Amino acid sequence: MKTTIINGFKWLSILYITLCTISFLFFTISDLPSFNEVGNLKNGCYTSNALLPYVECKGLKLNSLIKFFYNLWYIPIFGLGFITYFPLGSFMGLVTWSPVFYIIWYWLKGRHLKKIRISH
């Protein structure tokens, strides 16, 4: 049971880190126009800089999913900034970085917990 939970957290953490990395790569590869360049955009995505930079999408069927994916890599970055800003932000920052902390712990200390013990 313990190894199942450890493996589950390990794979969830790896998935989160991988998705954040892919999100960043898609954001940098796709040359999205800025808000000033699009004017009255009815369909598509653009970068916005209204207080904090993020990607906004309009008129697409999977609008929320695309917008979430493009902005996924921002979450850990904003989490770092919010840690010192207010108490709830500290919690958000720790939660967004916990998969990274978990993978580091797993590689340094937790791998021994996966070993199968044979008792006679």
CA 36 and chain centroid, separation: 27
The pLDDT tens digits of the residues spanning 1-34 come to 667 777 788 888 999 999 999 999 998 898 888 8
pLDDT, tens digit (0-9, with 9 covering 90-100), for 78-95? 878 777 777 777 788 888
- State the alpha helices, DSSP H only, in 30-111: 35-38, 63-71, 74-83, 87-108
Residue ranges of domains in the chain: 2-113
pTM of the model: 0.74
